[in-house]
Structure 1
Amino acid sequence: MKFCKEITMQHTALAPDQAMAAHPLEYSDPELRVYADEQAQDILDTVIWYMPLVLPCMAAILIFMLAFIAVFMA
């Protein structure tokens, strides 16, 4: 006697490499492409200006956290 049902899984989503390949290289609306490119450029420009300040601060915090863990564990 068989007590277990056979389960078949159906995948509805594409694999990541296939999903990226299926991504359109051209937009149907040219204004949407311009808007999307502008938004991407604006976000990148705003983040880049903060990086020289954020990276050293986060590194210092990480060093102090690691030192605290070392002292606490000793």
Structure 2
Amino acid sequence: MSNTQPPPDQALAEHPMEYSDPELRVYTDEQAEDILDSVVHYMPIMLPVMGALQIFMLAMIAVWMA
């Protein structure tokens, strides 16, 4: 009985040795980037801005309800 699946350590590897689709290999090797890494640079700006917006909206709701 032959095993067609890769071993678990290779299946979970970050860069597998073989790809069934050659275009997938090109994409993963050259163009793919981690989404989290592309967003992390904006966090020191966006967190305080979104916090201030949320506080403003909560204060506006409190005034509206009063």
Shorter-chain TM range is 0.5 to 0.7
Bigger CA drift: 49-58 or 25-34?
25-34
Q: Corresponding residue for 2:62?
A: 70
State the AA in 1 paired with 2:33. A
The amino acid across from 2:52 in the alignment is A
Unaligned runs of 5+ in 2: 1-11
State the alpha-carbon separation in 2 of the partners of residues 60 and 53 from structure 1.
Answer: 11
SS at match of 2:20: coil
Shift of 1:45: 2.3
Rg larger for: 1
Q: 1:40 to 1:72 in 2, by over 3 A?
A: same
Structure 1 residue 35 displacement after superposition = 2.0
Higher relative contact order (CA 8 A, sep 6+): 2
Report the AA paired with residue 45 of structure 2: L
Equivalence map 1:15-54=2 (5 Å): 27-29=19-21, 32-33=24-25, 35-36=27-28, 38-41=31-34, 43-54=35-46
- Identity fraction in percent: 65
- Unaligned regions of 5+ residues in structure 1, if any? 1-24
4+ residue runs over 3 A deviation? none
The one-letter code of the counterpart of 2:54 is L
